[in-house]
Structure 1
């Protein structure tokens, strides 16, 4: 009878935990599992919304830059308007990026908290 390397590790872990009396992770009720799952899904939805905003702001930034450069090269825009377009494009890019970073950092903290809770650490 041959075991795969991963199976041997799993067998050894279960053997150690069975005879030491310690549980590797906290036991969760089905309701707690569902709550954790729903919280993670909610975070995914928020991240997807922020990613959409980020994509739209990046598209607006690129459009502003293209319009500004093409308009300036063909003398449709003055230097002042070109500067306004560049500053507005950068502002749009910054405003679109901030929600994504805030949401991803919040999601990372939530996942770390849930992992600590599941491992039996701080609650």
Structure 2
């Protein structure tokens, strides 16, 4: 009986450590040492996902977490917007790009919190 209880407790704790797979399973993937063109949104997605996840453990509201994540990813956002604008033969719209990525970062922060996702996934 004690073994069964210990096993059940261990499985329960393991499930908590991994977060809710229905929510955490689709989150940030580590992208180290991968060179992508500046116009590839994966550059910004990886940065925003990683920082929103890391900072989601802070007690601040999701909007504040998103602002911090966007601040950490500002260079990637600017390079991406400049490349996209050049490809489209238009001037860069940095405020619109920042607003778009802030919405993504806010969603990711809420997603990480709701799923109780382990921060190790965002390293």
Q: Same fold (TM over 0.5)?
A: no
**Structure with bigger gyration radius:** 1
Q: If each structure's helix is expressed as a fraction of its own residues, which one has the higher value?
A: 1
Question: Relative contact order (C-alpha < 8 Å, sep 6+): which is higher?
Answer: 2
TM-score by length of 2: 0.42
